[in-house]
């Protein structure tokens, strides 16, 4: 192996240390180091892959765990390859059973990719991102190529995937085409000769497919970097839109801040580490201060909230969001837990109807009276007009008097 200069060796070690931060697993670490080394010697960027599902373009902070890692690679000159898995989206579900896998049109796919692109631009430098649609190569494969691909993996290996294994045990059917999703994801890496693929730990099986098939097609194997999954605001499940426990990357500053404040204390440090841009030393400091009792958890959480808002809306917005939060909730008697209510009515609704419908007030006349007495607030803002048409939004807080709060959930799934 070529000998590196001291400066080059330092560069390799710096990159390696950075990329290892906060990851769950690197498979294998040795190869990552070797790839960085080659990249430094040859002054050649590595190709870092992230696969995206074209059917669910709503990006939340859970996704930024991976995006932040990609950003680190970008900062050292590497190339990000975003792969829109539009081929599976276009073919839909051939069994016709699953509603989730409904067929997307060409336009929907493009639109969703655009949505990703816009949202990702808040974290990544999109001028240095390659955007690929895997229908370009998968759509061109013929039966002969498919058989060739299928001949490079065993049935037993595929059945090791957790969800397949579970369904087999439970006697639930697996349609044969489902075996092809991991194959296709693996083949994407063959096609684009990816050096590294990122994914959440729940993608363990699928991202390893890239290594498997690259080897079978006599390509250099990619390194797999698995990022931890971020628990959502409930502190239990993985952050996801369907669990209503997420903070969207596009949400308003007050909403982001307020939601952050509702996070269980024990997850704060994980959030600092995985989804903020604070340097490691700063995060260690906060952790130490908390442990020593020199910092109140609420203050740490407000710093987390400000940091998140600052990352997506800038400094000014982060300060305002905190002030707003303090004036509305903290100075009032904000309950520890705001009851949540699923809103199934129309998107736009008269304020009086809303108040009655969610049982905050018994009648429209009571509601009108309460508004006159300045007793109704939406997201902390006083309602003055009893004819106000409210546009119901996810997480919108409705307050009546000092004690009665309700948070509205919108069925967006």
Question: Where on the chain is the footprint of a second copy (CB under 8 A)?
Answer: 87, 90-91, 93-95, 138-156, 158-159, 168, 171, 173-180, 183
- What's the min distance (Å) between Cβ of 161 and a second copy? 12
Residue 241, marked binder:
yes
Closest CB to a second copy among residues 175, 374: 175
Specify which residues 153 forms β-bridges with: none
- What's the min distance (Å) between Cβ of 178 and a second copy? 8
- What's the min distance (Å) between Cβ of 145 and a second copy? 7
* Whole-angstrom distance, CA of residue 40 vs CA of residue 388: 61
- What's the min distance (Å) between Cβ of 188 and a second copy? 13
Closest CB to a second copy among residues 59, 183: 183
**What secondary structure does DSSP assign to 266-303, as a single string?**
GGHHHHHHHH----HHHHHHHHHHHHTTSS-HHHHHHH
Closest CB to a second copy among residues 91, 295: 91
Closest CB to a second copy among residues 151, 412: 151
- How many C-beta neighbours within 10 Å does residue 304 have? 23
Backbone angles phi, psi at 56, to 5 degrees: -135, 75
How far, CA to CA in Å, does 360 sit from each of 366, 401, 407? Answer: 10, 10, 11
Closest CB to a second copy among residues 180, 257: 180
Closest CB to a second copy among residues 178, 195: 178
DSSP state of 394: T
Contact 402, 412 (CB under 8 A): no
- What's the min distance (Å) between Cβ of 267 and a second copy? 38
Contact 63, 213 (CB under 8 A): no
Return the closest-CA partner of residue 24 out of 221, 203, 192. 203
Write the secondary structure of 76-141 as one string of H (helix), E (strand) and C (coil).
Answer: CCCEEEEEECHHHHHHCCCCCCCCCCCCCCHHHHHHHHHHHHHHHCCCCCHHHEEEEECHHHHCCC
- What's the min distance (Å) between Cβ of 168 and a second copy? 8
Residue 51 parent element (H or E) = strand 47-52
Closest CB to a second copy among residues 117, 181: 181
- What's the min distance (Å) between Cβ of 175 and a second copy? 5
How far, CA to CA in Å, does 328 sit from each of 153, 190, 240, 253, 331? Answer: 59, 54, 27, 14, 6
Binding residues: 241
Binding residues for ATP: 241
């Amino acid at each position: 192996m070529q000998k590196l200069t001291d400066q080059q060796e330092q560069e390799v070690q710096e990159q390696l240390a950075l990329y290892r931060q906060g990851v769950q697993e690197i498979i294998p670490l040795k190869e990552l180091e070797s790839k960085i080394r080659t990249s430094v010697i040859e002054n050649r960027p590595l190709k870092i892959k992230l696969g995206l599902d074209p059917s669910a373009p709503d990006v939340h902070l859970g996704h930024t765990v991976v995006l932040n890692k990609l950003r680190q690679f970008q900062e050292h000159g590497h190339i990000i390859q975003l792969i829109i898995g539009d081929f599976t989206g276009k073919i839909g579900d051939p069994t016709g059973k699953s509603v989730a896998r409904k067929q997307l049109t060409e336009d929907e796919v493009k639109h969703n990719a655009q949505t990703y692109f816009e949202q990702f631009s808040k974290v990544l430098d999109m001028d240095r991102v390659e955007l690929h649609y895997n229908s370009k190569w998968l759509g061109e494969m013929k039966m002969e190529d498919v058989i060739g691909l299928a001949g490079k993996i065993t049935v037993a290996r595929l059945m090791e995937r957790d969800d397949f294994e579970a369904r087999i045990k439970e006697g639930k059917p697996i349609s044969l085409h489902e075996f092809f999703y991991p194959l296709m994801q693996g083949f994407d890496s063959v096609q684009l000769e990816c050096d590294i693929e990122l994914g959440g730990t729940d993608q363990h099986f699928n991202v390893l497919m890239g290594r498997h098939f690259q080897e079978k097609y006599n390509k250099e194997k990619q390194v797999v970097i698995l990022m931890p999954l971020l628990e959502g605001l409930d502190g239990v499940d993985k952050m996801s839109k369907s669990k209503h426990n997420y903070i969207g990357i596009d949400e308003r500053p007050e909403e982001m801040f307020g939601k952050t404040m509702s996070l269980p204390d024990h997850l704060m440090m994980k959030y600092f580490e995985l989804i903020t841009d604070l340097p490691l030393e700063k995060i260690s400091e906060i952790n130490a201060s908390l442990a020593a009792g020199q910092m109140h958890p609420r203050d740490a959480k407000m710093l987390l909230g400000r940091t998140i808002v600052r990352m997506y809306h800038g400094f000014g917005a982060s300060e305002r969001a905190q002030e707003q939060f303090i004036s509305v909730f903290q100075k009032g008697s904000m309950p520890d837990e705001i009851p949540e209510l699923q809103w199934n009515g129309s998107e736009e609704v008269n304020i009086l109807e809303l108040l009655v419908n969610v049982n905050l007030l018994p009648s429209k006349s009571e509601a009108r009276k309460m508004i006159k007495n300045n007793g109704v607030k939406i997201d902390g803002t006083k309602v003055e007009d009893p004819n106000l048409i409210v546009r119901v939004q996810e997480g919108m807080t409705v307050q009546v008097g000092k004690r009665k709060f309700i948070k509205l959930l919108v069925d967006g799934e």
